[in-house]
Structure 1
Amino acid sequence: MRAAVYHGPEDIRIESVPDPELSSSSGAIVRVTHTAVCGSDLWFYRGQSDRDVPSRVGHEPMGIVEAVGDDVRSVEPGDRVFAPFVVSCGYCEFCRKGLHTSCVNGDSWGGENGGAQGELIHCPEADGTLVRVPDRHADDEDTLRALLPLTDVMGTGHHAALNAGVEAGSTCAVVGDGAVGLCGVLAARRLGAERIIAMGHHEDRLEIAEQFGATDLVTERGEEAIEHVTEMTNGGVNHVLEAVGATSSMETAVGIARPGGTVGYVGVPHGMGDGLDLSPFFGDNVALRGGVAPVRAYAEELMADVLQGTLDPSPVFTKTVDLDGVPEGYRAMHERDAVKVLVEV
């Protein structure tokens, strides 16, 4: 098969690699039809995080089941499925709690599983991981584009909103205008927030934020941003979604939080080696909740809204490429020429 392979910073190549094999009775082979490039992929692409060289990449797969193990019950060959960014068994202690990202039988999409930016993947825990798309929607391209963000960014934005405590009638702020932050805006609107402040620095992305339901836009940085939000809300907001993962974004998040408020954080921690001062959290009793999003726990709920036409995160895809175009997709996101890249395999 052909797949995207990482060979070092800014070096993604499409190569022939061995097909993954059906190696367990609980597993499935899926032929990938759609996948994406994620903002978190840019950390290794830019050389800002370690990754094995060479290694297969990608973690947002959607496709058609080709084969299943003898013990698989939830899907069968020919089914359209999508999968979260991690593999989970569905039955361990943590999966039963809805914390699939801590699954004791969990796995990633790299290595022998195939890498999701390629033609085939092996899912070793099909029943606990794969989400079946109903047949009547299985070939509707518009619906599939709307479902693909459920593999990661839409579920992650939803996780931020839930952990921030967003509810009907509330006022919240979203720090970050990447795909996760934009989906956080959409999630907050879905949960009934009355006022949603989107904070970012890119006009095209903030236009999507408005489309997704943002009522206010803040483009300043640092202390100026904090002062602006604090003034416009008469003291800060109770619910903050942090979708970047840097020290500066977390400082902004706690700076705009009202005393007693909550920061729901889902930004992959990066650049916090210089230390995060917890004094503002302590002094104002600001809660910090969140972490890596167990998107499998939210998949069916969010899919139901997509299928009934009340949820559509697909506008985060601002560029589409084929498999050969994956290296260009990375470049476009690296240079901020695209919010998120859809890959049609």
Structure 2
Amino acid sequence: MKANIMYAAGDVRVEELPVPRLLEQTDVILKVVAACVCGSDLHPYRSMHPHEHGEGEAMGHEVIGKIEEMGSDVSGFKKGDLVVVPFAYGDNTCPFCQEGLMTSCEHGGFMTGCQAEFVRVPQAQGSMFKLPDEIDEDSPLLPSLLTLSDVYGTGYHAAVMGRVNEDTTVTVIGDGAVGLLAVLSAKKLGAKKIILMGRHKERTDLGIEFGATNVISERGEEGVAKVRDLTNGEGTHVVLECVGLKPAYDMSVGIVRSGGVISRVGVPQYDEAAVGFESLFGRNITLTGGPAPTRAYMEELLPDILDGAVKPGRVFDVTVDLDGVPEGYRAMNNREALKVLIRP
């Protein structure tokens, strides 16, 4: 089968690999129908050092696929079922899963190798989410359904952890796919004022369509000042940090209202951050967020996609086949694409 392997920064190759096989009876093999390139995939694309022995890493953690083969411990599914898989798999029965936190599953982990023709899904019974029978691999809803695997669920997790509601003002930092879908999520949860911080007009225009009431292109102290100007000097009740870089965190601290919440879902590319008296403690700021347990949100988010109330798949602006994935990485890295959809 064809699969995309990353060997070093900027070095993604399409290679022929053996089709994966069942390693445990809790596994399923999927024929990939749709996958994509994630903004978090760009972190190794920009910084990965070659491995000592020259081996690469199979890329991709978001997938919709058809069941090709099932282990004997998997029930309730059949060959040919179309399923979406969260980027973090889990058994959905351990104490953490039962609390909706599959990203901490005692038997879980993170999907890899989805940018390929076939992929193995561990803990498939608890991880896979079967799509309605009327949805097939040619459905125009497929891009939006794929966002349930990661970016829509992640944006929604940011808003949920931030306790967004009709009484909160919200700032979203980042105009990537997760940031835009955090805007959509904040709107879904009732926020009336949603400030989007981003500098790319074609993206922030989509953010406005998703529900942003204001757009601020400035960064750093100037950006903080602009937000405070829009909020009577107070800042917003909630900041959804969807970037993962230290300057974005620093802006969050400057923007958040006393007594407010900073909810981080951008994968942090830093280890140290201000949490002391002057930054968070003295102002009673809550710091929350983390990897999104997207499986826990799928039942809740699916109906609005099916009836067309929301169209999160609009974040995909480029579609490629497997041979086009290396070019898709280049386009996303150069901000020539917002998010790349892969149709094998």
Is the structural similarity TM-score above 0.5?
yes
- TM superposition shift of 1:171: 1.4
Q: Which residue of structure 1 lines up, in the alignment, with residue 91 of structure 2?
A: 89
- Larger mean CA deviation between 232-241 and 136-145 belongs to 136-145
- Equivalent position SS for 2:36: strand
- Distance (Å, rounded) in 1 between the aligned partners of 2:298 and 2:55: 32
- Equivalent position SS for 2:92: coil
- Distance (Å, rounded) in 1 between the aligned partners of 2:49 and 2:275: 25
- Distance (Å, rounded) in 2 between the aligned partners of 1:311 and 1:192: 14
Structure 2 alignment gaps of length 5 or more: none
Give structure 1 regions of 4+ aligned residues with deviation exceeding 4 angstroms. Answer: 48-52
Structure 1 alignment gaps of length 5 or more: none
- Distance (Å, rounded) in 2 between the aligned partners of 1:254 and 1:142: 40
Q: Which residue of structure 1 lines up, in the alignment, with residue 37 of structure 2?
A: 37
- Distance (Å, rounded) in 2 between the aligned partners of 1:331 and 1:100: 32
- Mapped contact 1:43–1:49 kept (Cα < 8 A): no
- Equivalent position SS for 2:165: coil
Q: Report 1:85-124 matches (<5 A).
A: 85-110=87-112, 115-124=113-122
Q: Give me the CA root mean square deviation.
A: 1.5
Q: Does residue 277 in structure 1 map to residue 274 in structure 2?
A: yes
Q: Which residue of structure 1 lines up, in the alignment, with residue 343 of structure 2?
A: 344
* Counterpart residue identity of residue 240, structure 2: L
Q: Which residue of structure 1 lines up, in the alignment, with residue 316 of structure 2?
A: 317
Q: Which residue of structure 2 lines up, in the alignment, with residue 62 of structure 1?
A: 64
Pick from 186, 190, 195 the counterpart of residue 188 of structure 2: 190
* Counterpart residue identity of residue 202, structure 1: H
Q: Report 1:248-263 matches (<5 A).
A: 248-263=247-262
Normalised to the residue count of structure 2, the TM-score between the two structures is 0.95
Q: Which residue of structure 2 lines up, in the alignment, with residue 181 of structure 1?
A: 179
- Distance (Å, rounded) in 2 between the aligned partners of 1:31 and 1:175: 36
- Equivalent position SS for 2:8: coil
- Equivalent position SS for 2:303: helix
Pick from 192, 203, 222 the counterpart of residue 205 of structure 1: 203
- Distance (Å, rounded) in 2 between the aligned partners of 1:88 and 1:138: 25
The verdict on how the C-alpha distance between 1:333 and 1:277 changes in structure 2, with shifts beyond 3 A counting, is same
- TM superposition shift of 1:133: 0.4
- Mapped contact 2:8–2:49 kept (Cα < 8 A): no
- Mapped contact 2:175–2:198 kept (Cα < 8 A): yes
Q: Does residue 24 in structure 1 map to residue 42 in structure 2?
A: no
Q: Which residue of structure 2 lines up, in the alignment, with residue 292 of structure 1?
A: 291
* Counterpart residue identity of residue 88, structure 1: G
Q: Percent identity?
A: 44
Instruction: Show CA shifts across 1:117-166 (max 9, x none).
Output: 00111112111111100111234522111111111110000011011110
- Distance (Å, rounded) in 2 between the aligned partners of 1:60 and 1:310: 23
The verdict on how the C-alpha distance between 1:221 and 1:120 changes in structure 2, with shifts beyond 3 A counting, is same
- Distance (Å, rounded) in 1 between the aligned partners of 2:5 and 2:129: 26
Number of positions where the alignment pairs a residue of Structure 1 with one of Structure 2: 339
- Equivalent position SS for 1:145: helix
- Mapped contact 2:67–2:79 kept (Cα < 8 A): yes
- Mapped contact 2:159–2:263 kept (Cα < 8 A): yes
Q: Which residue of structure 2 lines up, in the alignment, with residue 308 of structure 1?
A: 307
- TM superposition shift of 1:22: 1.8
- Mapped contact 1:84–1:129 kept (Cα < 8 A): yes
- TM superposition shift of 1:81: 0.6
- Equivalent position SS for 2:170: strand
Normalised to the residue count of structure 1, the TM-score between the two structures is 0.95
Q: Which residue of structure 2 lines up, in the alignment, with residue 228 of structure 1?
A: 226
- Larger mean CA deviation between 97-106 and 49-58 belongs to 49-58
Q: Which residue of structure 2 lines up, in the alignment, with residue 46 of structure 1?
A: 46
- TM superposition shift of 1:53: 3.5
* Counterpart residue identity of residue 327, structure 1: P
* Counterpart residue identity of residue 328, structure 2: G
Q: Does residue 240 in structure 1 map to residue 239 in structure 2?
A: yes
- TM superposition shift of 1:49: 7.6
- Larger mean CA deviation between 275-284 and 247-256 belongs to 275-284
- Distance (Å, rounded) in 2 between the aligned partners of 1:133 and 1:50: 39
- Mapped contact 1:7–1:55 kept (Cα < 8 A): yes
Instruction: Show CA shifts across 1:80-114 (max 9, x none).
Output: 1110112111111111111101111113333xxxx
- TM superposition shift of 1:45: 0.5
- TM superposition shift of 1:240: 1.0
* Counterpart residue identity of residue 273, structure 2: L
* Counterpart residue identity of residue 180, structure 2: L
- Distance (Å, rounded) in 2 between the aligned partners of 1:338 and 1:169: 35
